[in-house]
Structure 1
Amino acid sequence: MVRRRLVGAVRSVFNDTARGERPVQPSDEALFAPDTPIRLVHADVTAMMVGGVAALLMQALHPRALQGVLDHSNFREDMLGRLRRTARFIAVTTYAHRDEAEAAIARVDAIHARVTGTMPDGSRYAAQEPGTLAWVHIAESWCFMEAHLRYVRPDMSPADQDRYFAQSGLVARKLGADPVPDTRSEALALIARYRPDLRGSPDARETARIVLAGTSRKPAERALHRLLGEAAVDLLPGFARKMLGLRRPLLTSLPTRAATGMLANTMRWAFGR
């Protein structure tokens, strides 16, 4: 009974039942074969939530990526909706039949085509810019892998880590991202390459505040969001925390990791893996 209720609560977060959404059914004809690194990494609910929040924080440091969100998204009013759409896109492109995955990629690409505008300095931006898409992808793949290593498989082999980056890069390239890393070392090098272009602007810091504050008024949900937010901040590279004005107090990082690890174990028990 407890297991079923917990699974139902999690699925209700990631599937908009009002729109008829149901959990994505894994297919043997997906873009990625069963039991390959990307399907294993993306299967852990807690690590993906921590990595997802961390990725949003890192993405906010890219001025053009952030401007597109500020101008074309209602994330301030519908944070859950934004997270849900992103999570579903990842689930569909990772597990669903390849035809369904390709259709999802085409829909997102069409949305990106409409996301254009003007930066504060008068220059133009577009969501389909290969470099902007690349940063969004790098931030996601890096944070998902770091969360997986911390909360699921600290002993994941370097070869499997590299294969994860190569696999996740497939979807990024289909969306037009460039450059895209194929290994962990390439991802790390690209993060360093992007650093001069990143800005801890007032908008970036305000976005981080909104992401970490959440929107739920229910005490239990707020406590869960706070824990995931603390774990996400703890996961960030030091330069990203500094640019966003975030701190990781040394005395609280270990309790945060312990509590998040317990949550991850509980989720794996509930979902039977």
Structure 2
Amino acid sequence: MRNVLREWQAELRQTFTGTRGAVPGWVPRLEEGDDAGYHLPGSAVWAVHGSMTTIVAGIRALLMQALHPGALAGVQDHSRFREDPLGRLAGTIRWIFTVSYGSTSAAHEASGFVLRLHESVRGDYVDAHGIARSYAANDPELLRWVHIAFTDAFLSAHKIWGRPIPGGPDAYVREWAHAGRLMGVDSPPLSEAEMREQLDSWYRAGDLRSDERVAEIVAFIRNPPLHPSLRPGYKMLFAAAVSSLEPKYRDMLGLRAPRLGPFPLPVRFGTKVTLAVVGVALGGVRPGGRMGPSEQAARRRLRRLGFAA
């Protein structure tokens, strides 16, 4: 039984970090650097990104991002998500945690690496109005869409399953705007209301689209090639992401809030339990508030530099 549990933990770590070991090799390097970074202990970003709610948020963000035809074309034409979905996930997690917990130089380096990868991501697509267009992953409009869909997802999931955010939701949107600027987003939103207004502006303008390509992506996100031992928990987390979506976006994606006949399923409670189990297995946030390894590395850097940590 103990060997089965260890194998399950190893598979879980491989899924979310890209390594079967307890801590990915890049995490200890967050201790390096000569400044405090963009975000500090007690910040809204540390509160949100140090929570296991980020797992649900990641699924929701992928679903939302698929609704923009330009962003979807870039993923389908250039991403290796079918061949190596876990590698793409691990890379995204590394960027998020580096910007959240690393020094400013580490955050710039990680963001620059992603932007350089994007330089070759170009092609053509038909927008939601039937007009043929060219796309580039570093196009300001597409970068804005990805940033806002990300911010909306992480904030929404945390508001449902997370603890109170220092400074409230506006503080998280304002602080995470640093990440948007690092990725080339001009004047990212600085409040929850501004963020939701910009998100809904794409919807009102008819710039989002649901078609067979979106359905293909949704089907893949619903049933990714995970180890069999991880699938029951993932089903709950996917249901959580779906339940957290605004009804209009859920309808566009062809999804429904989980129900058993006429009764809604207890997704909130089931998700809270699932996230607690995953947190223990990953060695991250645990009952009692133990911090994850990325935050521990960041605090060691801060103490070395003379900051209270």
TM-score above 0.5: yes
Q: 1:64-213 residue pairs with structure 2 within 5 A?
A: 64-120=70-126, 121-153=131-163, 155-156=164-165, 159-195=167-203, 196-213=206-223
For the pair shown, the structure with the greater C-alpha radius of gyration is 2
Per-residue Cα deviation, 1:62-116 (whole angstroms, up to 9, x for no partner): 0000000011011122221221111111011111222221110110111111111
Aligned twin of 1:242: 251
Q: Is the alpha carbon distance of 1:80 and 1:253 closer, same or farther for their aligned partners in structure 2, counting shifts above 3 Å?
A: farther
Find 2:58's aligned residue among 49, 52, 55.
52
Structure 1 match to 2:286: 269
- Residue 264 of structure 1, CA deviation: 2.8
- Shifted more, 16-25 versus 161-170: the winner is 16-25
Counterparts of 1:12 and 1:200, CA distance in 2: 32
Which one-letter code corresponds to 1:65 in the other structure?
A: A
Cα distance in 2 for residues equivalent to 1:168 and 1:7? 30
Equivalent in the alignment of 2:25: 22
Render the CA deviation track for 1:109-157: whole Å, top value 9, x for unaligned.
111111111114542111111111111111111110111111112x446
What is the match of residue 35 of structure 1?
42
Distance 1:178 1:130 in 2: 7
Deviations 1:206-247 (A, max 9, x none): 1011011111241x2111111111111111111111011101
Q: Secondary structure at the match of 2:111?
A: helix
Mark the runs of 5 or more structure 2 residues left unpaired by the alignment.
280-284, 292-309
CA distance in 2, matches of 1:272, 1:263: 17
Once the two structures are TM-superposed, the CA of residue 272 in structure 1 deviates from its matched residue by: 2.3
Quote the sequence identity (%).
33
Larger helix proportion of the pair: 1
Secondary structure of 2:255's match?
Answer: coil
Q: Offset of 1:8 from its aligned partner?
A: 6.0
- The answer to whether the 8 A contact 1:134-1:172 is kept is yes
Looking at structure 1, the residues matched to 102 and 265 of structure 2 have their Cα atoms a distance apart, in angstroms, of: 36
Partners of 1:133 and 1:178 in 2: CA distance: 9
Q: Tell me the residue number matched to 1:260.
A: 271
Q: What amino acid is aligned across from residue 151 of structure 1 in structure 2?
A: W
**Partner SS state of residue 256, structure 2:** coil
* Residues matched between the structures, number: 268
Moved more, 159-168 or 181-190: 159-168
The answer to whether the 8 Å contact 2:10/2:20 transfers is no
What is the TM-score with the length of structure 1 in the denominator?
0.89
Relative distance call for 1:204 and 1:175 in structure 2 (3 A) is same
CA-atom RMSD in angstroms: 2.6
- The alpha-carbon deviation at position 29 of structure 1 amounts to 2.0
Please say if residues 113 and 126 of structure 1, whose CA atoms lie closer than 8 Å, have aligned partners that are also in contact. yes
Pick which of 241-250 and 50-59 moved more.
241-250
C-alpha distance in 1 between matches for 2:190 and 2:158: 18
Cα distance in 2, alignment partners of residues 95 and 117 from structure 1: 34
Say which SS state the counterpart of residue 123 (structure 2) adopts.
Answer: strand
